[in-house]
Amino acid sequence: MKPTLQKLATAAGIFGPAAFTVAFTTSERRQEGYSIRNEHISGLAAPDARNPEVLLTGFLVMGGSTILFATALRERLGGRRGGFGPILLALSGAGAIGAGLLRRDRMLLHPPDQPDDYRQSWKNDGHDISAGVIYTTSVAAPLFLFRHLRRDPRLASLAPLGLAASATSLSLMAYFSTQVDREGNGLVQRVMVSLPMVFMSALAWRMLGD
C-alpha cells in the first residue's frame, strides 16, 4: 500500500468510531420518547425513528472505516504474519454494515402499540445476527492481536489496553445478553461497544504518529 493510502486507511480507525459516536449521540438527543438508559442504540435506525438515516450512515461509515483500518493494520503487522486480528477487525466492520442495512423493525424494544402476537421480520433477525458478529469479533480481535502488537515497539504498550477492553466488554456482554431488555441495558450497551472503538482509535493514533 502506498504511504498516502496507508495513512488514510489508518486515519479511518479514528474517523469511523468518531462518526458512529456522533451519529448515535445526535440521534438520541433528537428522538422523543427514547430512553438512553434502557433502549438499544440500533433502534435509532428503525423506520419509525425520527431520523433513521443518521444512524444508518453512522453504521455504514463505521463499517467501511473499520475494514480500511484493518487493511492498514494488517500491512503494519507484516501481512499474513499479523495473524487473525486484522481479519477479525474487518469482519467487525462487515457486521456493522450488515447491522445498518438490516434494520430493526421498531425503535423501542417494547412499543406501546405492538400486538401480543408480534414476530420480528427477517431483517430484524439479520440485524441481530450482524450485531452478534460485531460483538464477537470486536472482543476477539485484541486477543489475537496481543502477541503481534507486542513485537512492534511503537504499539507494544497498547497490547494490554486491548486485553483490558476485551475483558471488560466481554463481562458487560455476558450481563447484557442474559436479558437484552433489562432496565439499564442501554447504558451497558453503550459502554460495551465504545471500549473496542477506543482501542481501535488508540491504535490508529499511535500508527499515525510514526
Any idea where the domains of the chain sit in the sequence?
A: 3-109+128-208
Taking 3-state DSSP, the helix, strand and coil percentages for the chain, each rounded to the nearest 5, stand at 75, 0, 25
Our CA angle for 140, 146, 149, nearest 5°, is: 130
The mean pLDDT value for 32-54 works out to 95
Residue 135: pLDDT band (50, 70, 90) is: very high
**CB distance 140 to 166 below 8 Å:** yes
In angstroms, the CA 43 to CA 182 distance is 15
Residues 6+ apart with CB under 8 A from 152: 76, 77
Is the pLDDT confidence value at 13 over 90? yes
Residue 57, pLDDT > 90, answer yes
The pLDDT tens digits for 61-109 are 999 999 999 999 999 999 888 899 999 999 999 999 999 999 999 999 9
- Convert the pLDDT of each residue in 144-197 to its tens digit: 999 999 999 999 999 999 999 999 999 999 999 999 999 999 999 999 999 999
pLDDT at position 4, please? 87
Place of cell 453512522: 58
Which amino acid belongs to residue 121?
S
C-alpha separations of 156 from 7, 55, 66, 203, 207 in Å: 20, 34, 21, 10, 11
Closest CA to 110 of 53, 40, 23: 40
Residue 202 has pLDDT above 90, yes or no: yes
**HSE (CB half, 13 Å, CA atoms) of 45?**
25
How many other CB atoms are there within 10 angstroms of residue 193's CB atom? 23
Cα 38 versus chain centre, distance:
19
Which pLDDT score, from 0 to 100, does residue 80 have? Answer: 87
Q: How far apart are the first and last CA of the chain?
A: 16
CA distances from 108 to 15, 24, 38, 152 (A): 28, 15, 9, 45
